[in-house]
Chains A and B, each alone.
Chain A
Amino acid sequence: MALPHGVSETDFTNALARFRAAVGDEWVFSSDEDVALYRDAYSIYWGEPEERVASAAVAPETVEEVQAVVRAANELRIPLYPISTGRNLAYGGSAPVHSGSVVLDLKRLNRVLEIDERNAWALVEPGVSYFDLYNHIQERGLDLWIDPPDPGWGSVIGNALDGGGGWTAYPFRDHFGAHCGMEVVLGDGDIVRTGMGAAPGTKTWQENKWGYGPWVDGLFRQGNMGVVTKMGFWLMPRPEAYISGTARVANDEGAVGLIDTLNLLENQQMVNGSTQLNSGGAGGFGSPGWSLDVPIYGPANVIREQLAYARSKFEQIDGCTFTESELIMTQGPGQEAPPGVRLVNFGVPNLSTFSLLGRSPFQPNPAGGHIGFSPILPRRGEDLVRFRDWYRANEAEASGGEDLGIIGPVFMTNWERSLVGLIMFPVAKDPEYNRRVRAAFERWVELARVEGWVEYRAPTVYQDLVAKTYSYNNHALTRMHEKIKDAVDPNGIIAAGRYGVWPKHLRDV
């Protein structure tokens, strides 16, 4: 067992005893065998001294138990690392940023506390997965959709807090953006409710995001200022129908009009679905040009007109062709999704995305894991082409050889107003292979930084590296985060190092 940095064996033993008293013996894990279950299965440092590992884990079932654990940790200066469902694979899984932390496993806080069908919101605990919320809604026959990300076993809260997104309509697919109100246990065990939740008896905690005074919810997104124990989310009333069209341009010049038109249609809220941008025009993948799918959700008659409007705009681009798909009526509560659709686009959680990582004729010996580098790009055709050409120009030097299997670039348009350029890095259990992948990852981060392209989310081992790219005015933002961290969590016990924010006693270690 690795003791937390600066913690004596006596204090650690006392802390485990306090944790056991708070949650019961069964829910404190300190044997090597049990703690190993908290390793990051996709760690790029797997089996190496730098792998981030826990010293123990504690799993409360109630908010009161969370408070008791946090109070004990605060008194004894034990670093805690909260996880929700612990399935944040490719971003650290259930392992801490700071080795030796005790994982605060919130999986047992797994209650859907309230759902309001009339005003379309839910209040949930961190252990609630997308599968759980979906099942809860189906069992009650509610005419509401959730917005699942690719892996349905993720936590609704955890995904939102880590900056994740999904695949249905805006604004619901921006998971943090779709939240409304949270409850947080601070480092001293105190409980804060944000927004309208700060006013007792309002009944509007999940119906108004802002409340009164400075809005603090953002401090807990990719943050470490407290342990989030409840969050509200706005849900989508089931849309009546879905329709999509595909715009294609034959060359890079056409990409400018393609992206400008996409921006116009999204910013006018004519296109609300998760659009898909692909390299390759009418000739398919690999051919010159670009294609863009533009899905729309809403009442059948309305979205037919919206698609016609979108078509008219795309067809104003020189050489652009547009094809329409058939309208699909969506499934009601308790019904199967229409055949042949991508389930996440229809609010149904699943795990099919892992097919990309499994064995197949194309990949007989897969590496097993992966991580990604996903810099945010300007939403302009010129930048799209520039990123692609930049990737091609640097691929031979930066990607470390074809045998590593690094894939790029994939473009994502699912965030409002910006583009994401994704590069995927396989991760294995082989230290030499992983060393080469790390060199490639770090090289791409640096090359992109020089161009002004920086990441929005990172695996735990690279959260410092990426935080350093947000360096305006001598890292003023990080310095401000640190000031807040020192004030809100003075003993620095919550999620030390998460997203590059370290408590003062670990800043120079």
Chain B
Amino acid sequence: MRSVNALGSLGAVSLITGALALGFVTTLAQAQESAVQHGEQVYEYWCAPCHNPGPGHPGTQSLEFRYSGTEIPAVLVERTDLTPELVKTFVRQGVLSMAPFRKTEITDDELDALASYLADR
């Protein structure tokens, strides 16, 4: 969601004079990059132990079976079809043996960042 908001703001700044707009765009780009980096950190801490590639990752194993015969990859970071809403639904509602994550584990801000990271690929 954060990246979508940031892009929406870019349209608004086009009316602002060049130098100021350039600085603003740079700041927004940095913020966007920072959000993605933050999302990657959240992913690495909470999701990677189950969803990274290779043996020993039960989320990947389960999704391999779920999507066998399709072109959908089992590894989350290889997916291009994830939306922020879908990521948030799975994190907060869980699925099968994956229990939901509480807000003391993944805060709403961290979830926004994670959703941006996984959806913006």
Contacts and interface: CB of A to CB of B under 8 A. Distances in A.
A131 interface: yes
Contacts of A343: 56
A271 to B, nearest CB: 27
A297 interface: no
A41 B99 CA distance: 5
A200 interface: no
Interface residues of A, number: 40
B102 A38 contact: yes
B104 interface: yes
Contacts of B63: 359
Interface in B27-55: 45, 49-50, 55
Interface string A123-160: 00000000100000000000000000000110000000
Which 10 interchain pairs have the tightest Cβ spacing? A358-B62, A41-B99, A357-B97, A354-B58, A107-B104, A355-B58, A352-B56, A359-B65, A359-B62, A368-B96
Contacts of B103: 29, 34, 37
Contacts of A152: 49
A37 B97 contact: no
B104 A108 contact: yes
Contact of B96 (A27, A87, A94, A359): A359
B96 A360 contact: no
B72 to A, nearest CB: 14
Contacts of B99: 41-42, 87, 89, 93
A59 B105 CA distance: 11
Query: Which of B65, B94, B96 has the largest count of A CB atoms less than 10 A from its CB?
Result: B96
A352 B57 contact: yes
Contacts of B66: 359
A277 B104 CA distance: 39
Nearest to A368: B96
A360 B68 CA distance: 11
B104 A131 contact: no
B24 to A, nearest CB: 29
Interface in A10-53: 27, 29, 34, 36-39, 41-42
A37 B101 CA distance: 7
A286 interface: no
Nearest to A39: B100
Contacts of B100: 36-37, 39, 41
B62 A107 contact: no
A131 B49 contact: yes
A166 interface: no
A216 interface: no
A377 B105 CA distance: 38
A358 B59 contact: yes
Contact of A351 (B45, B50, B96): B50
A270 B59 CA distance: 39
B58 to A, nearest CB: 4
B2 interface: no
Interface of B: 45, 49-50, 55-59, 61-63, 65-66, 92, 94, 96-105
Interface of A: 27, 29, 34, 36-39, 41-42, 57, 59, 85-87, 89, 93-94, 105, 107-108, 131, 152-153, 343, 350-361, 364, 366, 368-369
A352 B66 CA distance: 18
A29 B103 CA distance: 9
A254 B24 CA distance: 78
A358 B58 contact: yes
11 contacts: A29-B103, A37-B102, A41-B99, A350-B56, A351-B49, A352-B55, A354-B97, A355-B61, A357-B96, A359-B63, A360-B65
A57 B59 CA distance: 28
A350 B49 contact: yes
Contacts of B56: 343, 350, 352, 355
B50 A105 contact: no
B42 to A, nearest CB: 14
Contacts of A364: 65
B70 to A, nearest CB: 14
Contacts of A107: 102, 104-105
B58 A361 contact: no
A87 B59 CA distance: 17
B62 A41 contact: no
Nearest to B104: A107
Contacts of B62: 355, 358-360
Contact of B97 (A86, A94, A358): A358
Given A107-B102, A358-B96, A364-B65, 6 more contacts: A38-B102, A41-B99, A42-B99, A108-B104, A353-B58, A356-B58
B25 to A, nearest CB: 32
Contacts of B58: 351-358
Contacts of B96: 357-359, 366, 368
Contacts of B57: 351-352
A354 B102 CA distance: 19
Contacts of A369: 97
A353 B59 CA distance: 11
A27 B102 CA distance: 11
Contact of A366 (B55, B97, B101): B97
Contacts of A360: 61-62, 65
